[in-house]
Amino acid sequence: MPLFARTTTPTLERLRRAPADLAEVLAARTPAAVTLWLGSTPTDEVDAQVAALDRRELTQLADVLTPESASRLMDRLEPHTAGMLLDAVPAPTAAGLLGLLPEDEASRVVRTLDADVAARVLASLPNAQSALLRGLLAWPEESAASWMRPAYLHVDQDARVADALAAARRDPDCADEGVYVDRRPVHAHAFSDEAALLGWIPLRALVVADPDAPVTGVMVARDELRGWSVSALADQEHVLRAADDSPDGVVPVLEDGVLLGVITRDGVQSIREEEGDEDAALQGGTSPLGRPYLQASPWRLWRARAPWLAVLFLAEMYTGTVLRAFEDELSHVVALAFFIPLLIGTGGNVGTQITTTLIRAMGSEGLRARDLVRVVWKESRTGVLLGLSMAAMGAARAWTLGVGGPVILTVALSLAAIVLWASLIAAVLPLILRRIGIDPAVVSSPMIATIVDGTGLMIYFTIARAVAL
């Protein structure tokens, strides 16, 4: 029995002639063209091309889908793109497309829909399916339970490996997550007759084990399983840490010893991407869009960016105050102004290099606040090396601008001091923030540059005053 729907697999010759663009496929208006396009286009391209369609084109696409190509297509779309497609077609068609996805993926698509569209689509689904979906949608967004697939394979504690194999054969779609062993309580309690989880048989063990062996001898026991399971309301970062420890990358969701569902490898990968999006956005001094870039309106982009810009603007405002305080020096030696962007820019660059490295190391190398002293010691020495290098370049640049000895000296000393100062600030800030419970990714390049700008100016003009300009 083949596991993967094998439609007309394009051979190399046909791939070369395959339409590369979805627009051409829609112009052809034949189901075969869609199948060919799906077979010859990488996954992220499929999503990008569908996301670029307007509502009329989306309905045209839905019209030429066969059950097979619809399933392949839905499988490759990101939740937001699938949501756009469902939004464009009549509710019964949308329900049919949604029904092609497993519950966990379907629930993520429904979460992208407007409330009234979601209600219509859910109402068009068969009762059992819509009840399962509503259950999943009730969990708060970003909770572990909102990512789980509620269906999983299970056998009871008296079963043999052959029974677990039979369970996997009945429902192969769940086989990748393995077979769970549970026990129904002998005395049903008043409020619960839910099954307590006893252990887990990974897919590999099903293949390798003797079919006559009792499952309890093959399973990974509950105590060990706890090392990589999460509670229903655990946050996403917690799920990722559990997945790293899970031998198959699959994360069970447990509540009071009862298995509620399983986060699949695909689910873990989706969480990883979402967390990556959030970190990248914070590091770029903006908020995550929560949807693909091409589907975000200018208004939404404005809302993601303007608050951060405003905060940075307010923080940067004191550079004006600093400069006004040194108005006398500035009007006396206008040449000092020539080096303002260069000096504060270099300080910001050094700070950015360090915070980027530290934030990455905190995420993937287990760097923690307890390492603060080592980090500061390492960055001070590096800061001295970099400060001296930059001072030499600064002196050369000041000389080419013909600004005279005192300004050259001021620029060189200031660069060395600013680079060292930026190194220390950047070394300390991410670790301290993590310690007090703030995501260190907020120390973005714009943030560290802003912090260094004003203090760098103070260093610059203080040195200028000391050099007696």
Q: In 5-83, at which residue ranges do the beta strands (DSSP E only) sit?
A: none
Q: Find out whether 42 and 12 touch, Cβ atoms under 8 Å.
A: no
Q: Find out whether 298 and 315 touch, Cβ atoms under 8 Å.
A: no
DSSP string, 358-419: HHHHHHHS---GGGHHHHHHHHHHHHHHHHHHHHHHHHHHHHHTT--HHHHHHHHHHHHHHH
| Options 123, 302, 404, 466; binder of its own copies; rule CB under 8 A | 302
With respect to its own copies, which residue has the nearer C-beta, 77 or 88? 77
| Residue 28 CB coordination number (10 Å) | 14
Quickly list H helices, 65-178: 67-76, 79-88, 91-98, 103-111, 115-124, 127-137, 161-170
Structural tokens at position 353: 């290099």
Tell the smallest beta-carbon distance from residue 247 to its own copies (Å): 7
Q: Find out whether 75 and 5 touch, Cβ atoms under 8 Å.
A: no
Does position 187 interact with its own copies (CB under 8 A)? The reply is no
Structural tokens at position 6: 């094998």
Axis crossing angle, helix 67-76 with helix 91-98, rounded to the nearest 10? 70
Site for its own copies in 20-79 (CB under 8 A): 39, 42-45, 47-49, 51-52, 78
Site for its own copies in 113-142 (CB under 8 A): none
Cα separation values, 145 from 57, 108, 113, 257, 421, Å: 35, 12, 19, 15, 45
Does position 440 interact with its own copies (CB under 8 A)? The reply is no
The region of 29-37, 65-73, 121-129, 289-297 touching its own copies under the rule CB under 8 A is 289-297
With respect to its own copies, which residue has the nearer C-beta, 193 or 377? 377
Helix (H) or strand (E) segment spanning residue 252: strand 251-255
Tell the smallest beta-carbon distance from residue 271 to its own copies (Å): 13
Tell the smallest beta-carbon distance from residue 255 to its own copies (Å): 16
Please list, residue by residue across 409-422, b when 16 or more beta carbons sit within 10 angstroms of its beta carbon and e when fewer do. Answer: bbbbbbbbbbbbbb
User: In degrees rounded to 5, what are phi and psi of residue 154?
Assistant: -150, 155
Site for its own copies in 361-380 (CB under 8 A): 361, 364-368, 371, 374, 378-379
Helix (H) or strand (E) segment spanning residue 405: helix 405-435
Does position 156 interact with its own copies (CB under 8 A)? The reply is no
Looking at the DSSP bridge assignments, the partners of residue 201 are 179
Site for its own copies in 253-282 (CB under 8 A): 265, 273, 276-277, 280-281
With respect to its own copies, which residue has the nearer C-beta, 5 or 123? 5
Which amino acid does the sequence have at 202?
P
With respect to its own copies, which residue has the nearer C-beta, 96 or 351? 351
Tell the smallest beta-carbon distance from residue 374 to its own copies (Å): 7
According to DSSP, the β-strands at 153-156 and 179-183 are parallel
* Binding mask of the shown chain, residues 76 to 115, with x at each position contacting its own copies by CB under 8 A: --x-------------------------------------
> Would you call 181 helix, strand, or coil by DSSP?
strand
The region of 29-37, 181-189, 252-260, 302-310 touching its own copies under the rule CB under 8 A is 302-310
| Options 310, 405, 438, 466; binder of its own copies; rule CB under 8 A | 310
| Options 140, 324, 437, 468; binder of its own copies; rule CB under 8 A | 324
| Options 63, 141, 224, 256; binder of its own copies; rule CB under 8 A | 224
| Options 18, 323, 372, 469; binder of its own copies; rule CB under 8 A | 323
Structural tokens at position 295: 């589907």
Q: Find out whether 142 and 235 touch, Cβ atoms under 8 Å.
A: yes
Does position 238 interact with its own copies (CB under 8 A)? The reply is no
Tell the smallest beta-carbon distance from residue 86 to its own copies (Å): 19
| Options 16, 115, 190, 223; binder of its own copies; rule CB under 8 A | 223
Tell the smallest beta-carbon distance from residue 115 to its own copies (Å): 25
* Binding mask of the shown chain, residues 397 to 436, with x at each position contacting its own copies by CB under 8 A: x---x-----------------------------------
Does position 395 interact with its own copies (CB under 8 A)? The reply is no
Question: Distance (Å, rounded) from C-alpha 89 to C-alpha 91?
Answer: 6
Looking at the DSSP bridge assignments, the partners of residue 143 are 235
| Options 30, 66, 192, 389; binder of its own copies; rule CB under 8 A | 389
Residue that the structure tokens 């949604």 belong to: 98
Question: Distance (Å, rounded) from C-alpha 284 to C-alpha 118?
Answer: 33
Tell the smallest beta-carbon distance from residue 175 to its own copies (Å): 5
| Options 337, 405, 435, 466; binder of its own copies; rule CB under 8 A | 337
Tell the smallest beta-carbon distance from residue 301 to its own copies (Å): 4
Cα separation values, 253 from 258, 274, 286, 396, 432, Å: 8, 19, 32, 62, 32
| Options 360, 399, 432, 439; binder of its own copies; rule CB under 8 A | 360
| Options 64, 77, 94, 165; binder of its own copies; rule CB under 8 A | 165
